Amino acid sequence: MRSATPVSSLALALSLLVTTPLTGRPATEAVPASEATEMSEASASGIVLRTLPAPAPPGVGSGTVREVGDGGDFAVVGVMGSGEPDDVELRARNAEGGWTDWVPAEVFRVDRLPGRTRWFSEPLWTGFADLLEVRSRAPHLSVVLIDPGREPTPGTGRGAPPRVVTRAEWGADESLRCVEPEYADDVAAATLHHTAGPNDYTADQSAQILRGIYAYHAKTLGWCDIGYHVLVDRYGQVFEGRHGGLDQPVVGAHAIGFNTGTTSLSLLGHHSTDQPAEAGMEAAARWLAWKFQVHGIDPAGVVTLVSGGGASNRYPAGEEVQLPTLFAHRDVTRTECPGDAAYARLPWLRQRVAELVAAPA
């Protein structure tokens, strides 16, 4: 039996959301999103995060649209709010003046105090743009605009089997990390996610998406690193995620209450209705097969994990939960992740991982 307690940095971020990095207030005091002030922060590698308030116009109601921008470029965005979560849709204006389609933001609710709620969205890839429109009835919003730099995904990857694009290769700025990795005793299971962004990115843009997600997780949410251990794009490119060693039992920040003793793989894109690409699914299976072999995990097995609790957790702290050794984020957290279409592929993924594990080296 393995204890699955949350990472301390994850619990802190989920309880505070808009805190000291944005306002300079003590880290124990939560700040309503409507009070967030503009902040611009550049990393050593040139990644720029800007946090701007998105005040609602008078008479806020269904379909209310507000514009957010300061003239600077961005390509990844996140939204934070207070009060009960509401549907949030985003679209961005590119350099030619055209607008992307409206895209729903996947939102997580976080309860900090009785009667007070904070929530945040998954980071979304917009492509490089200079103006954002947010459509929501929520009265209190702040928006994080991230310029991840324009360096494309490198042509080759190396590092651990199977071939992986390492953190250095996709441009992870190690100065963004604020703690050293935390290690569990071992890894007993894997969690499947999606990043919830659009699916029309190019192969060269995948590294840009990763740099944006990394900056949002590490700095905006306070997780000190990217939450996922590995990310896979629709072209079958596998990217090293959380720092600490792909063959090690690194504690992630991907499924609150079930971070210890699990590894995580996130598919780039949104897979509620869009099927995951076959190249991405095969690459995911091959990496999971390698990881399961490293830790002696049965792809067809069941494991008992102990919930660490948390506001978005489906299970209270201390409850023993039986799960497949390859389960989905939604199995333990109140979320649609990894989307209905990806969730429906889990039986295939388990079978394919088992085939690869059983195959001769």
Q: Could you report the per-residue pLDDT of 52-80, keeping only the tens digit for each?
A: 988 776 665 556 889 999 889 999 999 99
pLDDT at 17: 32
Find the range with the poorest average confidence among 28-37, 58-67, 126-135, 189-198: 28-37
The first and second tokens of residue 180, run together, are 């050293």
pLDDT at 37: 44
**pLDDT (average), residues 346-352:** 98
The first and second tokens of residue 152, run together, are 């494309």
Taking domain 2-8+151-358, whether its CATH number is 3.40.50.2300 is answered by no
pLDDT at 12: 30
* Residues 333, 61, 36, 176, Cα dihedral to 10°: 40
The average confidence (pLDDT) of the chain is 85
Do the strands 116-121 and 74-82 form a parallel or antiparallel pair, or are they unpaired? antiparallel
Q: What are phi and psi of 175, to 5 degrees?
A: -70, -15
State the pLDDT confidence band at 44, using cuts at 50, 70 and 90.
low
Asked if 9 and 226 touch (Cβ cutoff 8 Å), the reply is no
Helix/strand/coil (H, E, C) string of 258-313? CCCCEEEEEECCCCCCCCCCHHHHHHHHHHHHHHHHHHCCCCCCEEEEEECCCCCE
> Is a pLDDT exceeding 80 seen at residue 348?
yes
What is the DSSP secondary structure assignment for residue 333, as one 8-state letter?
B
Asked if 290 and 162 touch (Cβ cutoff 8 Å), the reply is yes
C-beta atoms surrounding 53 within 10 Å: 17
**pLDDT (average), residues 239-261:** 97
